[in-house]
């Protein structure tokens, strides 16, 4: 049987046993498609940004089963932690974890310390857990903190729904790190509980898969649906096709490589009315 139509990794499985082939079939597979590639490019841009007083963050929205967790794992594996023998410390530019089913301040800090392998006293106060988490994250030089299932914040009571976003904003300010929050559409409501936190997020929307033959081309636009939390312009240099509420000047877009003038979508109105001229939006 000819193997010319198979990839080298797939052709090698033909010589394996039936059990090994079944195990390979059930393994996780990363499928690269335009929208996922664009999302990874946005995350790379976020990681490459220098530390500033107000770090840019990204919220990724998608329905269940659209690959949010795989996207997080893919980016995490691309930037694994490494041990620095000179300073004798572990350096992890990207830290990823899943929000607990009932997200509280204490559970979040406990889960964060557990994910980086730091022991803590079960009866420690929230202040002690916070100090321990800040000290270790600063020592590990974390730049991007990725949180999956952020909509679990809504499982708490009204008080907890305000405390957790305030805690995330404090971590971003204190450590000068970017946040990447992934979840379903309810993430907007979870993040929107803190107005100051919501203004730091740019929204990346992953639509549902479309089972058509043209899904690799026409069903997937070259740019992801991107919306900026700022009324002025996107901080990641995206054009009007990518940003619903933000505009940039006439130049090449970092997402779709177009040079068309920015456009404004009617689906999501701007936060404040603007006046447009032939030179762009003022």
Mean pLDDT of 232-260: 44
Averaged pLDDT score across all residues of the chain? 77
DSSP 209: P
21 CB-near residues (< 8 Å, 6+ apart):
13
pLDDT above 90 (res 145): yes
Please give the structure tokens belonging to residue 170. Answer: 């404090």
Asked if residue 279 is part of any domain, the answer here is no
User: With 80 as the cut, is the pLDDT of residue 267 above it?
Assistant: no
User: Mean per-residue pLDDT for 16-20?
Assistant: 89
Is the residue at 145 inside a domain?
yes
Hey, is 96 helix, strand or coil? strand
Q: Which of 151, 196, 203 is nearest to 169 (CA)?
A: 196
What is the Cα–Cα distance from 116 to 92, expressed in whole angstroms?
A: 9
Provide the strand spans (E) within the chain.
57-62, 82-84, 89-91, 94-98, 144-148, 178-183, 201-206, 225-227, 276-277, 280-281
Q: Determine, yes or no, domain membership for 70.
A: yes
Q: Does residue 265 carry a pLDDT above 80?
A: no
**112 Rama class: left (phi>0) / alpha (psi -120 to 50) / beta:** alpha
Contact 43, 182 (CB under 8 A): no
Asked if residue 281 is part of any domain, the answer here is no
In a domain, 244, yes or no: no
**CATH number for the domain including 71?**
3.40.50.300
pLDDT beyond 60 at 12: yes
pLDDT > 90? residue 185: no
End-to-end Cα, the chain, rounded Å: 65
Residue 72 domain flag: yes
pLDDT the model gives residue 31:
78
Buried b (16+ CB within 10 A) or exposed e, 53-89: eebbbbbbbbeeebbbbebbbbbbeebeeeeeeeeee
**How far is residue 223's CA from residue 109's CA, in Å, rounded to a whole number?**
36
CA distance 202 to 212: 29
pTM of structure: 0.71
Residue 44 lies in a domain: yes
pLDDT higher than 70, residue 270: no
> Residue 133 falls within a domain, yes or no?
yes
What is the rounded CA–CA span in Å between residue 200 and residue 184? 19
Q: What is the pLDDT of residue 208?
A: 78
Long-range contacts, 24-33 (Cβ 8 Å, 24+): 28/70, 30/70, 30/74, 31/67, 33/215, 33/216, 33/220
CB atoms within 10 A of CB 47: 16
Whether 236 shows a pLDDT value over 70: the answer reads no
Q: Which residue has the higher pLDDT, 195 or 174?
A: 174
How many domains in the chain? Answer: 1
Averaged pLDDT for residues 265-278: 43
Domain of residue 82: give its range: 29-220
pLDDT cut 90: percent of the chain above it:
32
For residue 212, the model assigns a pLDDT of: 57
pLDDT band of 7, cuts 50, 70, 90: confident
Sign of CA pseudo-dihedral 110, 113, 117, 119:
negative
Calculate helix-pair angle for 105-115, 158-175, nearest 10 degrees.
Answer: 40
Tell me: pLDDT of 263 over 70: no
């Amino acid at each position: 049987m000819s193997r010319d139509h198979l990839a080298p990794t797939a052709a090698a499985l033909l010589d394996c046993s039936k059990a090994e082939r079944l195990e390979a079939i059930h393994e996780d597979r990363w499928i690269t498609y335009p929208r996922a590639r664009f999302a990874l490019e946005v995350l790379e841009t976020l990681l490459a940004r220098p530390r500033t007083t107000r770090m840019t963050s990204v919220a990724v929205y998608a329905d269940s089963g659209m690959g949010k967790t795989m996207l997080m794992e893919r980016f995490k594996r691309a930037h694994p932690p490494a041990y620095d023998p000179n300073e004798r410390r572990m350096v992890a530019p990207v830290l990823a974890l899943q929000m607990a089913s009932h997200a509280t301040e204490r559970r979040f800090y406990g889960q964060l310390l557990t994910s980086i392998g730091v022991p803590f006293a079960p009866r420690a106060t929230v202040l002690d857990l916070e100090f321990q988490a800040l000290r270790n994250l600063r020592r590990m030089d974390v730049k991007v903190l990725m949180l999956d299932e952020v909509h679990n914040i809504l499982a708490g009571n009204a008080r907890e729904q305000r405390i957790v976003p305030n805690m995330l904003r404090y971590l971003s300010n204190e450590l000068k790190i970017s946040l990447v929050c992934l979840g379903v559409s309810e993430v907007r409501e979870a993040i929107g509980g803190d107005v100051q936190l919501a203004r730091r997020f740019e929204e990346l929307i992953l639509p549902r898969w479309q089972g058509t033959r043209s899904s690799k081309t026409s069903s997937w636009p070259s740019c992801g649906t991107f919306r900026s939390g700022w009324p002025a312009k996107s901080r990641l240099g995206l054009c009007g096709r990518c940003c619903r509420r933000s505009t940039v000047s006439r130049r090449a877009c970092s997402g779709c490589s177009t040079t068309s003038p920015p456009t404004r979508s009617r689906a999501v109105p701007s936060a404040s009315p603007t006046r447009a001229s032939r030179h762009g939006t003022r």
